Amino acid sequence: MIRYGIVGFGLHAVKRMVPGFRGGQNSKLVALSRRDRSQARESALQYDVPLAFDSVEELCRHPEVDAVFVATPNVCHLNDVLTAARHGKAILCEKPMAMNADECRQMVEATRSAGVKFGVAQVFRFEDSVRHIQQCIASGDLGETVLARAEFAYPGRNHARKWINDRASGGGVVADVGVHCIDALRYMLNDEVTRVQALTRSDAESGEVDAAGALVLQFSRGTLATIMVTMRAEYQTPVEVVGEAGVLTATNAFTVDAPLTIDIRRGGKIAESWQFRNANAYARMLDSFSDWVEGREEFVAPGEEGWRNQLIIDAAYESARSGCAVTLG
């Protein structure tokens, strides 16, 4: 059993990670940290967590903590990961992994030097729906893949995570949920992005950060993909993959809160259809990371994957600023 401490016990920890730990078989939440000690103690009491701290350093020093889940705002990720690595803790970091690719490089190099496991919490890699789409593509069910589309919309006005409207804290919808689409497409297509072009849009509430974005990605084997994201619409996460032999669609491929259907159409008619429920994705991710820490299996989202995603995010923002496509090396 791997014992975890959550650094940055806020909305995401309460909504997703606490239920994830409750559903896990090899992962136990034993500690949390918040900037205010009294709030930390209150949260620990409310969610039955034995240890409460007001500093990352203190949490990472504790001998009963084996692994750290980093759930702080993006701007804090680098320091939190380096602190946990310095204390020899395994680390699972929320997406996006950092503020930029150079920070990702520092994280990967530091955790390698410390000899600790380091993963990024790209939870959609652990969803049955996403894995099924990957299998359909890999099996050749769709023929050669020509086009792909992933979208992520959610209502972000007056959001509890105030920092998502702050550029200095790592805000912006492309970084916040565009990373999910980027990672899911890379994983489902089993291919890498070679070229990125992007447009972003802000508004009065988001200020200098993007409230909506549209990306075009070119993959190394020729697939062209679009990503559209916004925090100004009701929740939806549609995915479509167009192949020469069929078209796969899923209305909400990424949701963990409700059942979803994946269809393959051929000749304008539904040829195959499946239903999925991704309710156990967070528990599955945690247990997979715990098994990796204990040497029983590989983890499909190591830190290097977060680094690759960040290179694409950085390229998207560069393209939005310059108005030009950016080629990745």
Confidence of residue 100 (pLDDT cuts 50, 70, 90): very high
State the chain's mean pLDDT as an integer: 97
- Which of 114-128, 161-175, 224-238 has the least mean pLDDT? 161-175
Q: Is the pLDDT of residue 224 over 90?
A: yes
Confidence of residue 158 (pLDDT cuts 50, 70, 90): confident
Could you tell me which CATH class the domain 2-123+283-300 is placed in? alpha beta
DSSP letter at 302 equals B
Q: Which of 250, 254, 290, 256 is nearest to 274 (CA)?
A: 250
Confidence of residue 164 (pLDDT cuts 50, 70, 90): confident
The predicted model scores a pTM of: 0.97
Confidence of residue 161 (pLDDT cuts 50, 70, 90): confident
Q: Measured between alpha carbons, how far is 238 from 245 in angstroms, rounded to an integer?
A: 20
Confidence of residue 60 (pLDDT cuts 50, 70, 90): very high
pLDDT, tens digit, 9 for 90 and up, residues 268-294: 999 999 999 999 999 999 999 999 999
Mean predicted confidence (pLDDT) in 189-211: 96
User: Which segments of the chain belong to CATH 3.30.360.10?
Assistant: 124-277+310-327
Is the C-alpha dihedral spanning 175, 167, 211, 35 positive or negative? positive
Q: Measured between alpha carbons, how far is 328 from 310 in angstroms, rounded to an integer?
A: 12
Q: Is the pLDDT of residue 169 over 90?
A: no
Structure tokens at 63: 């001998």
Q: Is the pLDDT of residue 163 over 90?
A: no
Q: Is the pLDDT of residue 162 over 90?
A: no
Please state the CATH superfamily assignment of the domain spanning residues 124-277+310-327 in this structure: Dihydrodipicolinate Reductase; domain 2 (3.30.360.10)
User: Which segments of the chain belong to CATH 3.40.50.720?
Assistant: 2-123+283-300
Q: What percent of the chain has pLDDT over 90?
A: 95
pLDDT, tens digit, 9 for 90 and up, residues 201-219: 999 999 999 999 999 999 9
CB atoms within 10 A of CB 323: 9
